[in-house]
Amino acid sequence: MDEKALVKKTIFSGIQPSGDLTLGSYLGAIKNWVELCDGYNCYYCIVDMHAITVRQNPAELRRRTIAQLAQYIACGLDPQKNTIFVQSHVPAHAELAWVLNCYTMFGELSRMTQFKDKSAKNSDNINAGLFTYPALMAADILLYQTDLVPVGEDQKQHVEICRDIATRFNGIYGDVFKMPEPYIPKVGARIMSLTSPESKMSKSDKDPGGCIYIMQQPDEIMRCFKRAVTDSDTCVHCDPKSKPGVSNLMQVYSVATGENFEDIEKEFCGKGYGEFKTKVGEAVVELLRPIREEAERLIADKSYLEGIYKQGAEKAAYTANKTLRKVYKKVGFIER
């Protein structure tokens, strides 16, 4: 590790390859990873072990893991400057997760919103992994002595439980883990479904019209935006309570173009929703076009991607094992 990396703060974040990446994953998370990455020592993970808390088709999981790696790079994450890797390639994640499971309480896991949501959606498979998901996520973050965790709003509770687990562990054994902070963007932290704007745009959503995917073709993106749910009013104005659909589209337009809400209201004043939806669609098409084209090119280059994830796993394992060794020693395991 060079000297600069030692003084730089550390970022860790991850996304499950549980579905194709969406506009929500991009605006809520990856876009900020790219913006932050210069000033930090960054670890970006494809959390395939988290993905199997919900039943996956193995061939699809493999395809999406590789595609997600290509999309990380295509979004602007330079694999030479950032450590990009697959979670299951670094055994320390599973090993620390087990230890942290023993320092995580049943009660606090029961209060997790994501567990409650996912159990309701997968009532035939409420497995122990789904329940202890936050302990594995805490292991991801704490292994790298992370300072900052850039995520969308929905993950705030998970970063908070990670802090609680770290505080509990440090309280017993001394300062083993750095205390991480969540980093949640001001705009774009919660992109809603285009067809049901009261729920989050989510890659495992069963309604394909509500979700925009990074790899989607322009004509399909335009079709989704033209069908986006608005309201019976005609005014482009932001009020998430009474106008969730329009407010969501304004949010998307604002992050895609950099315009603020006031300017957007002025731009579309008296123009009606039809024109507004077309403009939002076009802005998203142009935002995603270079990413899709670059990702398609990279997906075709399997050996390049293989080199990246192998090198990433090696770099990640080096740091992760240092923390794991310290933890094993603290809890009283005999050195190997």
Q: Does 319 bind ligand ATP (CB under 6 A)?
A: no
Task: Please say if 203 is a catalytic residue.
Answer: yes
Q: Which residue is nearest to ligand ATP (CB)?
A: 28
Q: How many residues does the chain have?
A: 336
Contact 295, 70 (CB under 8 A): yes
Q: Name which of ligand ATP, ligand LTN, none residue 224 binds, using a CB cut-off of 5 to 8 Å depending on partner kind.
A: none
Q: Smallest gap, in angstroms, from Cβ of residue 216 to ligand LTN?
A: 20
Contacts of 26 (CB under 8 A, 6+ apart): 75, 214, 288, 291
Four-point Cα dihedral 90, 154, 253, 248, nearest 10: 150
Report the 10 Å Cβ neighbour count for 102: 9
Contact 28, 153 (CB under 8 A): yes
The residue range among 98-106, 151-159, 271-279, 306-314 that interacts with ligand ATP, by the rule CB under 6 A, is: 151-159
Contact 96, 56 (CB under 8 A): no
The residue range among 148-156, 209-217, 278-286, 311-319 that interacts with ligand LTN, by the rule CB under 6 A, is: 148-156
Task: Please say if 118 is a catalytic residue.
Answer: yes
Nearest-angstrom CA–CA distance, 172 and 267 = 57
Q: Hunting for tokens 């106008």 — which residue is that?
A: 243
Q: Smallest gap, in angstroms, from Cβ of residue 188 to ligand LTN?
A: 15
Q: Does 165 bind ligand LTN (CB under 6 A)?
A: no
Q: Does 203 bind ligand LTN (CB under 6 A)?
A: no
* Phi and psi at residue 40, to the nearest 5°: -130, 165
Exactly one of 37, 141, 283, 285 binds ligand LTN (CB under 6 A); that residue is 141
Q: Name which of ligand LTN, ligand ATP, none residue 140 binds, using a CB cut-off of 5 to 8 Å depending on partner kind.
A: ligand LTN
Q: Smallest gap, in angstroms, from Cβ of residue 232 to ligand LTN?
A: 34
Exactly one of 10, 11, 20, 24 binds ligand ATP (CB under 6 A); that residue is 24
Q: Are strands 40-46 and 9-15 parallel, antiparallel or unpaired?
A: parallel
Contact 34, 25 (CB under 8 A): no
Q: Does 14 bind ligand LTN (CB under 6 A)?
A: yes
The residue range among 7-15, 118-126, 213-221, 232-240 that interacts with ligand LTN, by the rule CB under 6 A, is: 7-15
Q: Does 22 bind ligand LTN (CB under 6 A)?
A: no
Residues with catalytic roles: 118, 200, 203
